[in-house]
Each structure stands twice: as C-alpha cells, then as structure tokens.
Chains A and B, each alone.
Chain A
C-alpha cells in the first residue's frame, strides 16, 4: 500500500492563479481531510470529508474548495491564490469517523508559495 499520496510536493504560484492539490489514498478510508501548517500556528483544518459526496468545513475554509467524488480522492482547489495561502498543506485520512477513535494517516505534504 502507498498510503496517502500528495502531489505536487512543491508549487510556486502567482497571486490570482488557480491550482489543485491532489490527494489519494489506497486504504479504503472513509474520512479524509486537509490541513495547512504555518510556523507557530500548528496544523489547522481546512476541509474534511466523511465519505464520497460529503464534505464539510474546518477551521480555515475560506479561499479553498473541495469535492469527494470517489472514496480514494480528495482534491483541494485554490480558485484565486493569495500570498496568505503560502503554507505547507497536508492531506490525511482515517478508517472511520473521528468519533470512533481512529488515528489519522498523513501524506508527505505540499509546500506552496504564492508570490
């Protein structure tokens, strides 16, 4: 199993450009989520999904869109990138819902710079 795979690993954008961060997992996990990590801020939850066709907002959802058309994939879209979105982005998945005491499996991250 590859686990959680994120692409690309690095990306530089200009302000106003759009892009999609890809996340795929091969563990048949129902729960998937996106976090951003900034210095001194820890990880902050952007969006999450409890299954195909179901998504919800996290702590910092503004400026980001997500969809979940399959169990395996959970892409994160930046429609109009801003310098404030410069960060390291992590995708994570788990077998079930957090209410069932499941641990998260993380991808290796995408380092995004918006100029």
Chain B
C-alpha cells in the first residue's frame, strides 16, 4: 500500500509562476524526501526534511512538513520550462521498532511548465 499520496496528480502552469505540490502520508516517519523524475529517466533527489524540522529551503525549492497533519508540501518558485517533470515524495515508515529500511514513494505529481 502507498505510504505517500501526492496532490494534485497533474499540474500545468506558466513559466515564472510558482508550483505547489502536496504529499500526505499515513504513519509516523523519520524523514520525508522529495525526488524529481524527468521523462524516461531515473529519479533524482531534491531535498530531505527530518521529522523534527518544519521547513527547509534549497535554491528555488521550499519544503514544509506538518507531522500533526501527516503532510508535506513542495513549492517551486519562479518555475522554468526545465522544471517540467514528475515529482515524488518518499517516506520511511516508523514501526514499533523504529524507522524501517524501506523508502516508500507516493504516486507522483506531473508538473508541466509552459514557456
């Protein structure tokens, strides 16, 4: 079963606009990560946020984490055509013995940035 679910499934914006994608998850986590996948390629890590962090920035990326709502958001500011890709959140699942060694991915958001 999926741990993370992204919303929306697809998003189309104009260059220069901001893009926001959301991720909800089901169980307690140790960390949450965001990855990007260009069409036909492997995934590339973007940013990791730990469960005790609320916000993290990396260049034009801003990630927030709300553990009380079990949700995270990825904001891409001033988007570019080159940002066109699928974006996935991924979490480890905390069980009774602590964090697992499994990184579980959501179903992804397909972002299209129109030039």
Q: A residues engaging B (CB < 8 A)?
A: 4, 31, 33, 35, 40-45, 48, 50, 56, 58-59, 90, 92, 97-99, 101, 103-109
Check if B101 sits within 8 Å of A101, measured CB to CB. Answer: no
B residues in contact (CB < 8 Å) with A: 1-2, 30-31, 33, 35, 40-45, 48, 50, 88, 90, 92, 98-108
Among B44, B50, B101, B107, the residue within 8 A (CB) of A48 is: B101
Q: Is the CB of B107 within 8 A of A59?
A: no
Q: Establish whether residues A98 and B45, one from each chain, have CB atoms under 8 Å apart when the complex forms.
A: no
Nearest B residue to A49 by beta-carbon distance?
B101
- Interface of B, helix, strand, loop or mixed by DSSP: strand
B43 to chain A, nearest CB (A): 5
On whether the beta carbons of A106 and B102 are closer than 8 Å, the reply is no
A35 to B31, CA, bound (A): 19
- Taking each of A40, A42, A105, A106, which has the highest tally of chain B beta carbons within 10 Å of its own beta carbon? A42
Would you call B101 and A42 a contact (CB within 8 A)? no
**Which of these, A33, A40, A56, A107, contacts B103 with CB under 8 Å?**
A33
Alpha-carbon distance A11/B108, docked complex (angstroms): 25
For B101, give its contact among A40, A90, A97 (CB under 8 Å). A97
Q: Are B41 and A108 neighbours in the complex by a CB distance under 8 Å?
A: yes
Complex interface: chain B residues within 8 A of A31 (CB) = 101
Q: Are B102's CB and A45's CB within 8 A?
A: yes
Assuming the contacts A43-B88, A90-B42, A106-B42, asked whether A56 and B107 have C-beta atoms less than 8 A apart, the reply is no
| Cβ contacts A to B, 25 pairs, < 8 Å | A31-B101, A42-B106, A43-B88, A56-B101, A58-B102, A59-B104, A90-B42, A97-B101, A98-B30, A98-B92, A98-B100, A98-B103, A99-B30, A99-B100, A99-B101, A101-B31, A101-B48, A103-B33, A103-B45, A103-B48, A104-B35, A106-B44, A107-B42, A109-B41, A109-B42
Selected contact of B108 from candidates A42, A104, A106, A109, CB within 8 Å: A42
Contact B105 A42 (CB under 8 A): yes
